[in-house]
């Protein structure tokens, strides 16, 4: 995939220090409290009176991404997004990221620059400082590890484990689209591999592809919640599918839940493609990963406020633990939810 | 290497959530300011009036370690140490780490537990909280990415770029031993591969092997400097060899340096094995990596204070930039230092 990129500069010709130098040149810092970014043994961050939030995620080639259909720039962007999403899910503001990559010698300098172009684009979009990292070799695939650092006022942090009985369950955006975007890319890759003369037909699927390849983190929702004066009682980002996240939130809060199937927000494109694949759209929303939407619970007293927010759906409420995790279908049947979500180990062993 | 471990539990049988649960159980927290560790979207750390230090390092199988002679427990220990070393090199105190691992399905639960036993041992030894991380799959090798979070009083942070002309150059401990430990392990592996009936002969080399397999970070030096009232003018940890680190420190400070060859601290075991390998011991000290000692500069006024410290050698002084990076050999010859140090890219392409 890098053959078309024109120039190819071997990483071995510039060495690790040369690579760090090149990466550093394109970095802009947005926060005066980032006292020292790239270039020392550690980044130095001036503390505020707020708390510090730290989250980390690792993406490995062949498990989390397939470079035959993932542009490196998108991959860099997404690697940042999935970490920022975790900071927003604490009701915080991401401020810095440190990024480590391991690349094999099949990657050129130009390929690494593409990756960092995406990283820098995400940093610029969300005003986050790329404050350090590590660049090293791998024997085979590409590995990206990102740690995001954020802040929040101590009393504004929203954990997973404080949902209460009768709290309303909200989700942002729509679910299942990223998963179906991935199914589409996998299908077209397979067709192409079987017959290289057939061009991939991805027209009309822009929304699903973008959800898979270039997701966004819901900063806008955190801003809206703040403006509306709503502090969720519990929150988690939806990276492994709604069912998994409900499982985490309810288990940690010591509660059950009841959601209504027809309240789960699913885009019409998602529903259409799911049927093409003979999948139930709701199954994709429950178990498909990488949506990077937010799942949160609010006090029933905040219902009117939350109704006024854009792009938020109320899908059910928190119940007592004994009632378990239930979904009610349109005919009134109660279905037991299982956290069988997207799981890298599961995926690997399919 | 895992065949002897007795029980073998497949990671696929417990899944990612099960693995996180098992890892979490063995974690102890030492700092009350770690408000939330493993178990939410992000760790939550109460800020002090100090600054926050963040550093990250990634270790990949086949590049940074060879599992045929690296016990997983030692590897886990070392992965923490190399990050703590970076925090100490800022004159800071490490407080938390977040650890991400990618493992292929050739690793069992027991293997991952061994790795975390080493991680927890280092956390206990240095009183650092394992506050989060990510566990995922890789297609082939093991990858470990650690981010360490530390604190320091703002006016006590020591950067790389404030060395001044005439400052004295100090190094801790002795150099080159970790590199020779690695050469020894590589040699014995090769002999064993060529003739499996020959048992590896590692007797008498404990010191060098320990320096390679289970290094320590120089917390003791940071404590001593503080007690002696010495604030170095610049500091860096020696992970890529003395020559590389001098290059970084002098380039960033806009200075040159002059060190005396016979002042470079080299253990007698290191010198002995270097000669067995037909290497000059000084070359090993200059270009061998993974010593995790500290290189720092002090004002000449602090000379008497530094002489009283244990395990610190004064090896030269900072000069003007125009004088370059020089080493004087015992006969008075000036040798130009080159930063050709340990470099993962270099290593890969040998």
Is A226 an 8 Å CB contact of chain B?
Answer: no
Per-residue model confidence (pLDDT) at position B55? 96
The ipTM (two decimal places) reads: 0.91
Q: Does residue B221 surpass a pLDDT of 90?
A: yes
Q: Are A95 and A34 in contact (CB under 8 A)?
A: yes
| Least confidently predicted of A40-49, B141-150, B179-188, B228-237 | A40-49
Average pLDDT, chain B: 92
- Tens-place pLDDT, residues A153-176: 999 999 999 999 999 999 999 999
Q: Does residue A2 surpass a pLDDT of 50?
A: no
> Are B343 and A148 in contact (CB < 8 Å)?
no
Residue of B nearest to A46 (CA): B51
User: By percentage, how much of chain A surpasses pLDDT 90?
Assistant: 77
B 149-178 near A (Cβ less than 8 A): 149-150, 152, 154, 157, 159-161
**Inter-axis angle of helices B109-126 and B11-25, nearest 10:** 20
- Tens-place pLDDT, residues A94-152: 999 999 999 998 899 999 999 999 999 999 999 999 999 999 999 889 999 999 999 99
A 246-285 near B (Cβ less than 8 A): 252
CA distance B63 to chain A (A): 6
Residues of chain B found within 8 Å of residue A142, distances taken between Cβ atoms: none
Q: Does residue A5 surpass a pLDDT of 60?
A: no
β partners of residue B2? none
- Rounded alpha-carbon distances, angstroms, from residue A227 to A224, A231, B74, B160: 5, 10, 50, 43
Give the best residue of B11, B58, B135, B162 to mutate against chain A (max A CB count within 10 A).
Answer: B58
Q: In the predicted model, what is the mean pLDDT of residues B188-210?
A: 87
Per-residue model confidence (pLDDT) at position A307? 96
Residue of B nearest to A154 (CA): B46
Classify residue A342 as exposed, middle or buried by CB count within 10 Å of its CB (0-12, 13-18, 19+).
Answer: buried
User: By percentage, how much of chain B surpasses pLDDT 70?
Assistant: 95
Which pairs from A187-194 meet CB under 8 Å and 24+ separation? A188/A69, A189/A66, A189/A68, A189/A69
> Are B101 and A147 in contact (CB < 8 Å)?
no
Per-residue model confidence (pLDDT) at position A350? 36
Average pLDDT, chain A: 92
With cut-offs at 50, 70 and 90, classify the pLDDT of residue B210: very high
Is A68 an 8 Å CB contact of chain B?
Answer: no
Per-residue model confidence (pLDDT) at position B345? 38
Is B11 an 8 Å CB contact of chain A?
Answer: yes
With cut-offs at 50, 70 and 90, classify the pLDDT of residue B298: very high
> Are B58 and A347 in contact (CB < 8 Å)?
no
> Are B45 and A52 in contact (CB < 8 Å)?
yes
| Least confidently predicted of A2-11, A303-312, B252-261 | A2-11
List the single residue in A54, A58, A105 with the smallest CB-CB distance to B145.
A58
List the single residue in B41, B56, B143 with the smallest CB-CB distance to A143.
B143
The C-alpha atoms of residue A58 and residue A96 are separated, in whole angstroms, by: 17
With cut-offs at 50, 70 and 90, classify the pLDDT of residue A347: very low
> Are A58 and B343 in contact (CB < 8 Å)?
no
List the single residue in A51, A96, A134 with the smallest CB-CB distance to B47.
A51
Helix then strand then coil, % of chain B, to nearest 5? 40, 25, 35
Residues of chain B found within 8 Å of residue A132, distances taken between Cβ atoms: 54-56
- Tens-place pLDDT, residues B77-112: 999 999 999 999 999 999 999 999 999 988 999 999
Per-residue model confidence (pLDDT) at position A166? 98
Q: Does residue B249 surpass a pLDDT of 80?
A: yes
Give the best residue of A20, A35, A54 to mutate against chain B (max B CB count within 10 A).
Answer: A54
CA distance A100 to chain B (A): 6
- Tens-place pLDDT, residues B114-159: 999 999 999 999 999 999 999 999 988 999 999 999 999 999 999 9
Q: Is pTM beyond 0.90 here? A: yes
With cut-offs at 50, 70 and 90, classify the pLDDT of residue A198: confident
> Are B47 and A48 in contact (CB < 8 Å)?
yes
CA distance B203 to chain A (A): 31
Q: Which CATH architecture has domain A3-156?
A: 2-Layer Sandwich (3.30)
Domain B168-343 has CATH 3.30.420.40: no
> Are B53 and A43 in contact (CB < 8 Å)?
yes
B 87-116 near A (Cβ less than 8 A): 87, 89-90, 92, 96, 98, 100-102, 105
Q: Are A47 and A136 in contact (CB under 8 A)?
A: no
Q: Which CATH architecture has domain B6-156?
A: 2-Layer Sandwich (3.30)
Residues of chain A found within 8 Å of residue B85, distances taken between Cβ atoms: 41
- Tens-place pLDDT, residues A92-102: 999 999 999 99
CATH superfamily of A168-348: PurM-like C-terminal domain (3.90.650.10)
Q: Does residue B4 surpass a pLDDT of 70?
A: no
Per-residue model confidence (pLDDT) at position B2? 41
Kindly report the CA angle at A99 between A93 and A104, in degrees rounded to 5?
155
Residue intervals of chain B classified under CATH 3.90.650.10 are 168-343
Per-residue model confidence (pLDDT) at position A19? 86
Q: Does residue B269 surpass a pLDDT of 60?
A: yes
Residue intervals of chain B classified under CATH 3.30.1330.10 are 6-156
Per-residue model confidence (pLDDT) at position B3? 42
Residues of chain A found within 8 Å of residue B102, distances taken between Cβ atoms: 58, 60, 63, 143
Q: Are A294 and A302 in contact (CB under 8 A)?
A: no
User: By percentage, how much of chain B surpasses pLDDT 90?
Assistant: 77
With cut-offs at 50, 70 and 90, classify the pLDDT of residue A66: very high
Is A141 an 8 Å CB contact of chain B?
Answer: yes
Per-residue model confidence (pLDDT) at position A202? 83
Q: Does residue A344 surpass a pLDDT of 80?
A: no
Nearest one of A244, A62, A347, A345 to B10, comparing CA atoms? A345
B 37-56 near A (Cβ less than 8 A): 39-56
Per-residue model confidence (pLDDT) at position B48? 86
With cut-offs at 50, 70 and 90, classify the pLDDT of residue A302: very high
Residue count of chain B? 350
Per-residue model confidence (pLDDT) at position B58? 96
Q: Are A103 and A134 in contact (CB under 8 A)?
A: no
Q: Does residue B343 surpass a pLDDT of 80?
A: no
Q: In the predicted model, what is the mean pLDDT of residues B53-69?
A: 94
Classify residue A207 as exposed, middle or buried by CB count within 10 Å of its CB (0-12, 13-18, 19+).
Answer: middle
Residues of chain B found within 8 Å of residue A235, distances taken between Cβ atoms: 41
- Tens-place pLDDT, residues A255-272: 999 999 999 999 999 999
The C-alpha atoms of residue A146 and residue A122 are separated, in whole angstroms, by: 13
Is B133 an 8 Å CB contact of chain A?
Answer: yes
Q: In the predicted model, what is the mean pLDDT of residues B15-41?
A: 87
Size of interface A-B (CB pairs under 8 A): 258
Which letter does DSSP use for residue A215 in this model?
Answer: -
> Are B47 and A50 in contact (CB < 8 Å)?
yes
> Are A51 and B49 in contact (CB < 8 Å)?
no
């Amino acid at each position: 995939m890098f053959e078309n990129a024109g120039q190819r500069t071997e990483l071995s010709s510039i060495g690790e220090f040369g690579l760090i130098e090149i990466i550093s040149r394109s970095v802009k810092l947005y926060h005066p409290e980032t006292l020292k970014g790239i270039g020392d043994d550690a980044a130095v961050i001036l503390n505020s009176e707020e708390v510090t939030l730290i989250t980390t995620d690792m993406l490995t080639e062949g498990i989390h991404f397939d470079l035959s259909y993932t542009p490196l720039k998108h991959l860099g962007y997404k690697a940042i997004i999935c970490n920022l999403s975790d900071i927003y899910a604490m009701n915080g503001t991401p401020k810095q990221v440190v990024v480590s990559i391991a690349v094999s010698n099949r990657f050129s300098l130009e390929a690494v620059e593409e990756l960092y172009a995406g990283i820098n684009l995400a940093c610029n979009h969300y005003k986050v400082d790329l404050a350090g990292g590590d660049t090293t070799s791998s024997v085979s695939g590409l590995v990206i590890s990102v740690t995001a650092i954020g802040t929040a006022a101590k009393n504004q942090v929203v954990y997973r484990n404080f949902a209460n009985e009768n709290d309303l369950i909200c989700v942002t955006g729509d679910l299942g689209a990223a998963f179906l975007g991935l199914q589409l890319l996998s299908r077209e890759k397979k067709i192409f591999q079987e017959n290289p003369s057939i061009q991939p037909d991805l027209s009309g699927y822009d929304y699903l592809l973008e959800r898979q390849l270039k997701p966004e983190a819901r900063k806008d929702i955190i801003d809206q919640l703040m403006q509306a004066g709503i502090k969720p009682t519990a929150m988690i980002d939806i990276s492994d599918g709604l069912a998994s996240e409900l499982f985490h939130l309810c288990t940690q809060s010591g509660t059950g839940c009841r959601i209504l199937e027809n309240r789960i927000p699913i885009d019409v494109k998602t529903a259409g493609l799911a049927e093409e694949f003979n999948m139930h759209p709701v199954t994709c929303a429950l178990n498909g990963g990488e949506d990077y939407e937010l799942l949160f619970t609010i006090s029933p007293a905040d219902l009117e406020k939350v109704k006024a927010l854009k792009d938020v759906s109320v899908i059910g409420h928190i119940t007592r633990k004994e009632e378990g995790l239930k979904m009610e279908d349109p005919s009134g049947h109660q279905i037991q939810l299982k956290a069988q979500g997207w799981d890298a180990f599961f995926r690997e062993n399919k």
